[in-house]
Structure 1
Amino acid sequence: MENKPDFSYSRAEKLKSKKLFEKMFAEGKSVANFPLRVIYVKADFKDNVPIKAGVTVSKRNFKSAVKRNRIKRLLREAYRLNKSMVSNNSTDKYALLILYLGKEMPESKAVHQKMEVLLDKFNKKIAQESKKSTSEEIK
């Protein structure tokens, strides 16, 4: 049987914990590819999910809830289609928060391209960190 990529974004994969949100803003690390930024932190989840992700858009930049919700839908869709890049390359469990930093309404195609680059940068950064931590453990 073929091993098809998982394009779902189930309820278990959504970041909803208020404690985790606070922890992310307090001690999370970030990777950016304007107009997107990912804040991430290692976490341990009770359910067997490698990565939980959430999206947010600044109320300061987009006063209209309709526009904020549209951007959040675009971000979730772009993440859903590209999440296999992250979940297949990561051995640890992470909580991700994807922020939209721009001031203009984005187009779907642009969000998808930026998301691919952002998740690729995230993969490289966590790979660097894991190499660094394993080399420190050896010493």
Structure 2
Amino acid sequence: MKHTYGKTEKLKSKITIEKLFSEGKSVSAYPLRLVYLKTNFEDDVTIKAGVSVSKRHFKLAVHRNRIKRLLREAYRLNKNAHFSTISSQYAFMILYFGKDVPNYNFVEKKVNTLFEKFTKAEANNL
């Protein structure tokens, strides 16, 4: 896996996103939640991920966009360490539901915790 977050890795399908929220499982590491679903994609990407920030807590778009940029960057830099051995295909949605605008170090630490919880949860399911 490369340290990229290209077009093919982005979760865009409305049908997949609806299925993800209706049938998916989740793990949390406050203030983040990872909703995931084992699925099959047409292309050979193992993980398609998206990020979301609540408009209820962050009225200003600049704050929502800042948090989304931080989440995408933390995902991009840490996905190799956690998902390089994964063989199944997954759809991910990373949700931020805190009340304050975080800094990058905090987000990166929480994303790593979230990915570790996901790895443990999936290891228990197998």
Q: TM-score, normalised by structure 2?
A: 0.96
Alpha-carbon distance, 1:90 to partner:
1.6
Aligned residues: 126
Moved over 3 A (4+): none
Q: 1:98 aligns with which of 76, 82, 94?
A: 94
Q: How does 1:1-139 map to 2 (within 5 A)?
A: 6-130=2-126
TM-score normalised by structure 1 residue count:
0.87
**Structure 1 vs Structure 2: percent identity of aligned residues?**
53
Q: Describe the SS at the equivalent of 1:99.
A: strand
Q: Distance in 2 between matches of 1:126 and 1:89?
A: 13
How far 1:89 moved relative to its partner? 3.0
Runs of 5+ consecutive residues of structure 1 not aligned to the other structure:
131-139
Contact 1:89/1:123 (CA < 8 Å) preserved in 2? no
How far the C-alpha of 1:87 sits from its partner, in A, is 2.5
User: How far apart in 1 are the matches of 2:46 and 2:2?
Assistant: 13
Give the counterpart letter for 1:56 in structure 2: S
Q: Which runs of 5+ in 2 are unaligned?
A: none
- The structure with higher relative contact order (CA 8 Å, sep 6+) is 2
SS at 2:51's partner residue? strand
AA of the residue aligned to 2:18: E
Partner Cα separation in structure 2 for residue 107 and residue 29 of structure 1: 27
> Equivalents in 2 of 1:17, 1:121: separation in Å?
25
RMSD between superposed Cα atoms in Å? 1.0
Q: What SS is found at the alignment partner of 1:56?
A: strand
Deviations 1:1-58 (A, max 9, x none): xxxx621111100000100110111111000000010000011000100000000000
